[in-house]
Amino acid sequence: MIERLRNTAREIQALFEQIDSDVKGFQHRTGITCTAGCGHCCNNPGIEAAPEEFFLLALSLWENGTSMEFLRMLEKDEGGGVCVFYSHKQSNPDAGYCTRYEHRALICRLFGFSTMHDKTGSLHLAACAAIRNQVRPDSLETSGGSTLSPGMEIYSGQYEDIFGGAFQKKYPINTAMKMAVEKMGYLFDNTPAV
């Protein structure tokens, strides 16, 4: 079982590396970036994620023996709230950074630099107003109709495929983390010793 979890982790890591590379390419082609030190989107208590988005985090916490400490920290924020990994300046809650950047969720990797289709089928940049103001809507597609930016729906589908299908539900980000760590603990506790 543990080897299967590590194989899944390698698949996820490879996909995340592809996403990160595609996002950097998009940023390079368009010049669109986040303002240095801006954490406005992270300072949002309404961010939701699927527990599966924290597979790498959960595996890492259980393998390095810090899962219970992490779960105790999350107990303090059971009602939702801003991501526990977001560290901000006291003087400006929108100025900060992610303390576990390497284990950030899929939504955190894609938001700001990916496109998605709305209900009408129109393509738009999934980003905050500050980033959307940097781009013309027609600059997201090539003349052939393909997108210049990473497609959120495409990467979400590839991530879901690693787990054998669509995610069932999204939860407040801290709740999703807690669920992922608890599920990983169950898998660790129920794996026979080799």
Domain parsing of the chain, residue ranges: 2-189
Q: In the chain, pLDDT over 70 holds for what percent of residues?
A: 88
Whether the pLDDT of residue 7 is over 90: the answer is yes
Integer CA distances (angstroms), 159 to 13, 70, 124, 175, in order: 10, 24, 21, 20
Q: Which amino acid is at 149?
A: S
Residue 185 tokens, joined? 């603990």
The structure's pTM equals 0.84
Q: 124 in the Ramachandran plot: left (φ > 0), alpha (ψ -120 to 50) or beta? A: beta
Please state, rounded to an integer, the average pLDDT across all residues of the chain.
84
Whether the pLDDT of residue 192 is over 80: the answer is no
**pLDDT tens profile 21-70:** 998 888 888 778 888 888 888 888 999 999 999 999 999 999 999 999 99
Cβ burial of 74 (10 Å; 0-12, 13-18, 19+) is: middle
pLDDT of residue 143: 46
